[in-house]
């Protein structure tokens, strides 16, 4: 499954992952053009093509403007009616397109489906990524790749956040990141799928993060 992200979505993801930029944006201390120049190469890497700098600046400004209505967001909450699913015991498998030349991606997906249905697959501009259960049978799929142990990051968990289609999903990641940050929990990563937001955390933080987010849904529900 190929995930296509818009420039505003990529901007939100990059800013959310970088806590110092995120905090400066909240305090209106960011030069939009300078930030656009800084993150433009990363955006182009994700999209696999060139991006107009002014388009990036506009996306940054619109994201920054969203903080001005943060109190309204907190009252309504983008998590209203959301569904959460926590899965621990996960690992991150990342391999480059060069590595993938030694494998048939279709064959890999077929092997995954025979072992487990609990996985996420993301195709990026220069690499492929799986988030899946940490099982030896999964590791064996990649046994013929040199230095395969370097592909695996373990001790992770994911929370899938499903938002009703008639609700705004654009601020979910920043909203969730702020709630968790205020409680001493940082995201490892976050991804947009076609029908949900997937946040990746260290497994030790997962249960507490789930309770915090679930409490927020109950509070406003």
197-202 vs 189-192, strand pairing mode: antiparallel
As a whole number, mean pLDDT of residues 88-103 equals: 76
Answer whether residue 174 shows pLDDT above 80: no
Q: Which residue has the tokens 């909450």?
A: 77
Percent of the chain at pLDDT exceeding 70: 81
Q: Give the whole-angstrom CA distance, residue 21 versus residue 34.
A: 12
Place of tokens 């490892």: 188
Ordered by where they begin, the domains of the chain are: 1-76 (no CATH), 78-221 (3.30.2130.10)
DSSP 139-163: HGGGTTSTTGGGGEEEEEEEEEEE-
Contact 187/17 with Cβ under 8 angstroms? yes
Report pLDDT digits (tens) over 102-116: 666 677 778 888 888
Contact 179, 46 (CB under 8 A): no
- Mean model confidence pLDDT for the chain: 81
More confident residue, 1 or 191: 191
Residues 99-149: tens digit of each pLDDT: 656 666 677 778 888 888 877 877 766 677 888 888 888 888 877 776 677
Q: What is the pTM of this model?
A: 0.61
Using only the alpha carbons of the chain, give its radius of gyration.
18
Sign of the Cα torsion 220, 166, 14, 59 reads negative
pLDDT at 100: 58
Q: Is 147 helix (H, G, I), strand (E, B) or coil?
A: coil
Contact assessment for residue 159 and residue 201, using Cβ atoms and an 8 Å cutoff: yes
């Amino acid at each position: 499954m190929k995930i296509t992200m818009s420039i505003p979505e990529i901007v939100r993801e990059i800013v959310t992952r970088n806590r110092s930029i995120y905090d400066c944006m909240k305090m209106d201390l960011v030069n939009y053009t300078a930030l656009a120049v800084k993150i433009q190469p990363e955006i182009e890497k994700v999209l696999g093509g060139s991006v107009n700098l002014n388009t990036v600046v506009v996306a940054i400004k619109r994201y920054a403007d969203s903080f001005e209505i943060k109190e309204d967001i907190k009252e309504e909450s983008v998590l209203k009616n959301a569904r959460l699913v926590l899965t621990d015991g996960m690992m991150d498998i990342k391999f480059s397109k060069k590595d993938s030349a030694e494998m048939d991606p279709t064959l890999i997906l077929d092997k995954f489906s025979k072992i487990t249905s609990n996985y996420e697959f993301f195709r990026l501009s220069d690499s492929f990524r799986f988030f899946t259960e940490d099982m030896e049978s999964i590791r064996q799929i990649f046994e013929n790749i040199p230095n395969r142990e370097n592909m695996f990051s373990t001790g992770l968990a994911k929370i899938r956040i499903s938002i009703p289609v008639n609700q705004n999903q654009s601020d979910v990641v920043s909203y969730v990141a702020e709630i968790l940050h205020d409680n001493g929990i940082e995201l490892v990563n976050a991804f947009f799928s076609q029908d949900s937001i997937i946040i990746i955390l260290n497994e030790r933080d997962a249960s507490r993060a789930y309770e915090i987010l679930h409490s927020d849904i109950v509070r406003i529900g």
